[in-house]
A = this chain, B = another copy of it.
Amino acid sequence: MDTINQVSQTGHEVLAAVLGVRGRDREKSLRVLLWRRGRPPQAGRWALPGGQLGATEDVESSIRRQLAEKVDVRQLTHVEQLSVFSAPERVPGRRVVATAFLGLVPCDVDPEIPDDTEWFPVSALPETAFDHGSIVLRARDRLRAKLSYTNLGFALAQPQFTMSALRRVYSAALGYRVSATNLQRVLSRRGLLEPTGGTAPSGPSGGRPAALFRFTGSGLRVTDPFAVLRPPSGEDVRSC
């Protein structure tokens, strides 16, 4: 009990799994931004971007500040807390508690990234440092779940897109085929999609030109709050 309660030098770091859909055509996949450690411990392994929590900032400000060095902040379309990782020996030698985040970037532009960073498919991670591999998987699972019951797709998509481009983005993120037809129906019914009026040129082999769409609004919204056990019609949820 004394050892448990003893005052100790507990460090607090923030880490982010920045996810985005990258790659051309068939190679398109959900990828994560990793950074190659240059010095011990665990030199050569790939780590999540992040760093020490500062004295005058909260965890979200901190991770945004630190990501600004790796990814252009304007590129970050969504940031949310995942969970705390606090196993005593997660960083050997000293006690470091980590607050992990999910960050999302849209799939069109490839932001400038430093030489020691790289995008890796989440399905083929390299040797990761510390517990960072499991943080990436948690981020992937959170993203997949929220794609279903929120409008989070806006954070992965380009500002404008055709339905088949959006289909590829959802397919890569979810890990299975998504039908463009049904995707459009679902997102339209929920009022998340809006035609820009423009069209994309047809490809070299012809085909009807595709209409361009955009997402309405760019903040996270829950679109499917009660899967079952809805409140009775007419009755509202009491605020408490």
In the bound complex, residues from chain B placing their C-beta under 8 Å from that of A102 are none
Complex Cα spacing A83 to B84, Å? 8
Complex Cα spacing A72 to B147, Å? 39
B55 and A84 within 8 A (CB): no
Q: Which of A110-118, A172-180, A210-218 contacts B (4 or more CB under 8 A)?
A: A172-180
A4 and B81 within 8 A (CB): no
In the bound complex, residues from chain B placing their C-beta under 8 Å from that of A12 are 10, 12, 97
A148 within 8 A of B: yes
Q: How many copies does the complex hold?
A: 2
Given the known inter-chain contacts A55-B4, A58-B87, A84-B59, please indicate yes or no for A235 contacting B177, CB distance below 8 A.
Answer: yes
Residue of B nearest to A144 (CB): B237
A198 within 8 A of B: no
Complex Cα spacing A58 to B84, Å? 9
Contact-residue bracket for chain A: 35 or more
> Of residues A8, A54, A56, A176, which shows the largest number of chain B Cβ atoms within 10 Å of its Cβ?
A54
In the bound complex, residues from chain B placing their C-beta under 8 Å from that of A59 are 84, 86, 97
A83 and B81 within 8 A (CB): yes
A109 within 8 A of B: no
Interface members, chain A 46-104 (any B CB < 8 Å): 52-59, 65, 81, 83-84, 86-88, 95, 97, 99
In the bound complex, residues from chain B placing their C-beta under 8 Å from that of A81 are 83-84
A88 and B57 within 8 A (CB): yes
In the bound complex, residues from chain B placing their C-beta under 8 Å from that of A231 are 174, 176-177
In the bound complex, residues from chain B placing their C-beta under 8 Å from that of A121 are 240
The 6 A-B pairs at the shortest CB distance, nearest first, are namely: A123-B240, A4-B54, A8-B55, A175-B238, A58-B86, A176-B231
